[in-house]
Amino acid sequence: MQVNKRLVKFILGIMLVGLLGVFVEKNIQFFKQRDNKMTKQASLKESSQSAIKKNKRQQHLHVDWRKPSMKKTAYPSIAKHPNLWIHVSLRKQRVYLIDKDKCLYTMYASTGKPGKTATPKGVYHIQGERGDYFYSQSEDEGAYYWVSWKNHGEFLFHSTPTDAEGKYLKSVAADLGKRPSSHGCVHLTVADAKWMYENIPYGTKVVID
């Protein structure tokens, strides 16, 4: 009888330890999930705050739409960088001139508005068509220093737009480096567009994403 009591106590002890172990494990899992959730929420909050701060900086960015985007850096020499290619960032509203993995120059840009006039993503190449001025009656806008990169004259790099008289639209120029405002082309400052027109070779790769 004494042996049976000891056996029962032993079994009850094992069961109690097992139940305690399950309880502890569930609590550990609960706190881990809670901590992960709190960490994720904190990360999302931090990312959101960072995006808001970045957006505010972007909105207060002052771009001189007549001059080169980079004041202290000269435009790259095509002769020294024959493998130069162009990266258009739709998210950042920037155009990067790159040789291999090195960014040589950064230009402020304004790409196509979301929707039907969005700038198409993909890999393209500078085409043969270019000119010092055009005016589109259908869009009621013109621009200086244009270079085609898709559909032979449809999608272009060009200066910030002008009206029918060739006068720059300052309200649209204010969007450079801040937000999309074009009909699909890539707007640049006047100086940047002029450099593109005069220097970028036929066949130069253009990556838009």
Instruction: Give me the active site residues, please.
Output: 158, 185
**Sign of the CA dihedral 186, 162, 179, 175?**
positive
C-beta separation of 183 from 112 below 8 A: yes
Strand partners, 206: 86, 124
d(CA 84, CA 73): 16
Strand partners, 208: 88, 122
Residue holding tokens 């808001």? 52
C-beta separation of 202 from 128 below 8 A: yes
Residue holding tokens 């004259």? 153
Helix (H) or strand (E) holding 135: strand 130-136
Residue holding tokens 């009888």? 1
C-beta separation of 32 from 24 below 8 A: no
